[in-house]
């Protein structure tokens, strides 16, 4: 339960962030617990996260602002492990370095700044831009379907914010965004079970068509395979482009050897 000071402080901060939200960020406390905040980061332009919708939570201690929150991101991003506490100077991993003057907007702006960097810490992962772009394109689908688990009829349990709840937790905290996401899936012919485009052209189907409900390792494997194929094709490229020259050289060498052998026999 929040202390009176924490409750007063978080109530004021909610008013502030609602009236003047930081760029790319929106956040609010849960109706049932003012210490549990839900945020959504919209991927900034000129980053691999562009157009991505990244949902996460801040869980504040009862004595906030004299101690920092636990920070998690639940949407797969290619930057953070899903639903894992992040070790940042603004998180509960470093209570002594937390400044009580920092507010929710400060914390989330710092999280976004760290997200768009390449620095590693506990809870972060290292992937390439293609992987992050792929996950950004599927983030709306993941949030509203629980990674496709809605088809199994699962419902959210208390505290359940991972894939497997059918998107129920996201829907309960972000009903307007959830409605927008389902409309986006309908207008873009996205299969709610797999997250893949239905009836897409052949060109769009060349990418990995897998569900990320259980994680992104399958896609990462596909990225590695694609890279190997590209390297293999690159190695073959010169011969393919100059096959006439190669053929001519081979004929010249054959004729030269034949003449030398013929001269030796006279």
Query: What is the phi-psi region of residue 5: left when phi exceeds 0, alpha when psi lies from -120 to 50, beta otherwise?
Result: alpha
Question: 129-145 and 217-241 helices cross at what angle (nearest 10)?
Answer: 140
CB 70 within 8 A of CB 91: yes
Angle ∠(158,40,16) on CA atoms, nearest 5: 100
Q: In the annotation, is 87 catalytic?
A: yes
Cα 80 to Cα 104: distance, rounded to the nearest angstrom: 20
Structure tokens at 177: 């965004």
Q: Which of 59, 67, 87, 193 is catalytic?
A: 87
Structure tokens at 86: 């992040």
| Dihedral sign from CA coordinates of 36, 42, 44, 47 | positive
At 121, is the secondary structure helix, strand, or coil? coil
Burial of 162 (0-12, 13-18, 19+ CB in 10 A): middle
Positions marked active-site? 87
């Amino acid at each position: 339960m929040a202390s009176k000071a924490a409750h007063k402080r978080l109530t004021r901060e909610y008013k502030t962030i609602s009236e003047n939200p930081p760029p790319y960020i929106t956040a609010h406390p849960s109706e049932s617990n003012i210490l549990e905040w839900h945020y959504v980061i919209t991927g900034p332009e000129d980053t691999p996260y562009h157009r991505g919708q990244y949902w996460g939570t801040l869980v504040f201690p009862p004595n906030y602002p004299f101690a920092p929150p636990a920070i998690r991101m639940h949407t797969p991003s290619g930057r953070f492990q899903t639903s894992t506490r992040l070790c940042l100077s603004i998180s509960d991993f470093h209570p002594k370095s937390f400044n009580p003057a920092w507010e929710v907007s400060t914390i989330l702006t710092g999280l976004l700044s760290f997200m768009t960097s390449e620095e590693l810490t506990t809870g972060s992962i290292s992937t390439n831009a293609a992987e992050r772009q792929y996950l950004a394109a599927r983030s709306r689908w993941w949030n509203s379907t629980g990674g496709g688990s809605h088809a199994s009829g699962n419902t959210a349990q208390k505290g359940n914010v991972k894939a497997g709840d059918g998107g129920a937790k996201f829907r309960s905290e972000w009903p307007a965004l959830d409605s927008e996401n389902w409309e986006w899936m309908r207008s873009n012919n996205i299969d709610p079970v797999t997250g893949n485009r239905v009836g897409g052209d052949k060109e769009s189907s060349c990418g990995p068509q897998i569900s990320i409900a259980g994680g992104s390792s399958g896609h990462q494997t596909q990225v590695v395979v694609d890279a190997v194929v590209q390297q293999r094709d690159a190695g073959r490229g010169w011969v393919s482009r100059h096959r006439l020259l190669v053929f001519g050289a081979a004929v010249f060498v054959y004729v030269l050897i034949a003449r030398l052998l013929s001269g030796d026999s006279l």
